[in-house]
Amino acid sequence: MQQCNVRRMSSMQIVLCLITLGLLGMLLLPLDAWCQGKGGVLRIGMTAADIPYTAGQPDQGFEGFRFIGFQLYDGLVRWDLSQGDTLPALVPGLAESWEISKDDPTKWTFKLRRGVKFHDGSPFNADAFLWNWDKIRSKDAPQYDIKQGGIIYWATTEMKEWRKLDDYTLVLTTTRPSSFIPYLLTYIMMSSPAQWEKVGKDWKNFAETPAGTGPFKLTKLVPRERAELEPFADYWDTKRVPKVDKIILLATPEPTTRLAVLRNGQVDWIEVPPPDAIPSLRQAGFQIVLRSYPHNWAYSLNLSTAPWDNKLVRQAANYAIDRV
């Protein structure tokens, strides 16, 4: 799969056509004036009809992650979106390192990054991670959010146990050996337990004034219309502190409307321009860039029932996939 970027260099207008994660790289490594540290307001016309859920785990698929999830929040692992034309690799996020036990391949030890703060100033540590894991996995936990749990439960099913060794060391145990764990952890977003307590232990209130550890913080939310984000000055990765002064996300689901608001200067970027408009955009001075994006689909098979309980069937299915 690929993403396409379209921009007109002379006017700083940019059309962004993305399928999944690429927006984050463009926001944190902006082009043209933003890349030169000139700041300004970046207005984006999204394909989404509503602002993705802001309390932690965003809804609306990968649109939610690239516009809200990866902007307001971090996971233990993240994609390196600074690589330009090269497909991004997994790199440490809130976890600075991890390793699999030599004696037990189901046990993963994660060393957490020290000095990370949520937007509300509270610290991120092992207790904060466990609190967030329970918000999506433990239905009897006070902080359990059925909405967030329903959105992201698929990424947690390979985990059997989660515990801390100390304030900055986690041990995660899987149901069976799995190489997908770092990929899955890129989607588990960390919300501030202190902020949840402050807003009355109510996820609806939290969504209006969220606190994550991400490079942006939410400053305004108008459901079904817009969200405004500003840089988080104390973001832990100084190389990824945003150059823009503000981002305005506008819900613009209709393709022809997105094209119109771009052409008349109401926004700077849009997603997915109408295909038949691309030639005229090029002619008008917009630059179109098409690139591949990082993704990993970690499907889980039930190995206890037919046909997948047969090793030969699994091998045959594996050999049948054309990987060229």
Q: Evaluate if residue 81 carries a pLDDT over 70.
A: yes
Residues 78 and 194 in one domain: yes
Q: Evaluate if residue 316 carries a pLDDT over 70.
A: yes
Residues 234 and 247 in one domain: yes
Residues 51 and 85 in one domain: no
pLDDT given for residue 32 in this prediction: 36
pLDDT given for residue 74 in this prediction: 97
pLDDT given for residue 89 in this prediction: 87
Q: What is the mean pLDDT of residues 212-236?
A: 96
Q: Evaluate if residue 88 carries a pLDDT over 60.
A: yes
pLDDT given for residue 22 in this prediction: 38
Q: Evaluate if residue 5 carries a pLDDT over 80.
A: no
Residues 259 and 270 in one domain: yes
Residues 26 and 103 in one domain: no
Q: Evaluate if residue 236 carries a pLDDT over 90.
A: yes
pLDDT given for residue 11 in this prediction: 32
User: Is 324 inside a domain boundary?
Assistant: no
pLDDT given for residue 10 in this prediction: 33
pLDDT given for residue 163 in this prediction: 95
pLDDT band at 304 (very low <50, low <70, confident <90, very high): confident
Mean pLDDT of the chain: 85
d(CA 228, CA 246): 7
Residues 191 and 229 in one domain: no
Q: What is the mean pLDDT of residues 66-72?
A: 95
pLDDT band at 82 (very low <50, low <70, confident <90, very high): confident
| Final residue belonging to a domain, choices 168, 198, 228 | 198
User: Is 203 inside a domain boundary?
Assistant: no
Residues 107 and 57 in one domain: no
Residues 39 and 104 in one domain: no
Q: Evaluate if residue 270 carries a pLDDT over 90.
A: no
Write the CATH number for 150.
3.90.76.10
Residues 98 and 82 in one domain: yes
User: Is 65 inside a domain boundary?
Assistant: yes
| Final residue belonging to a domain, choices 164, 198, 232 | 198
Per-residue pLDDT tens digits for 143-180: 999 999 999 998 898 899 999 999 999 999 999 998 88
pLDDT given for residue 4 in this prediction: 53
Q: Evaluate if residue 52 carries a pLDDT over 70.
A: yes
Segments forming the whole domain that contains residue 56: 1-73+214-293
pLDDT band at 233 (very low <50, low <70, confident <90, very high): very high
At residue 154, φ and ψ (nearest 5 deg) are: -55, -30
- Beta carbons of 271 and 17 less than 8 angstroms apart: yes
User: Is 315 inside a domain boundary?
Assistant: no
User: Is 298 inside a domain boundary?
Assistant: no
Residues 260 and 228 in one domain: yes
Kindly report the three-state secondary structure assignment for every residue of the chain.
CEEEEEEECCCCEEEEECCCCHHHHHHHCCCHHHHCCCCCEEEEEECCCCCCCCCCCCCCHHHHHHHHHHHHCCCCEEECCCCCCCCCCEEECCEEEEEECCCCCCEEEEEECCCCECCCCCECCHHHHHHHHHHHHCCCCCCCCHHHHHHHHHHCCCEEEEEEEECCEEEEEECCCCCCHHHHHCCCCCCCHHHHHHCCCCHHHHHHCCCCCCCEEEEEEECCCEEEEEECCCCCCHHHCCCCCEEEEEECCCHHHHHHHHHCCCCCEECCCCHHHHHHHHHCCEEEEEEECCCCCCCCCCCCCCCCCCHHHHHHHHHHCCCC
Residues 96 and 42 in one domain: no
Write the CATH number for 277.
3.40.190.10
Number of domains in the chain: 2
User: Is 287 inside a domain boundary?
Assistant: yes
pLDDT given for residue 29 in this prediction: 31
Give 143 or 12, the one with higher predicted confidence: 143
d(CA 238, CA 203): 30
Residues 130 and 175 in one domain: yes
Q: Evaluate if residue 118 carries a pLDDT over 80.
A: yes
- In this structure, of 14-23, 95-104, 202-211, 273-282, the range with the lowest mean pLDDT score is 14-23
User: Is 152 inside a domain boundary?
Assistant: yes
pLDDT given for residue 297 in this prediction: 63
User: Is 22 inside a domain boundary?
Assistant: yes
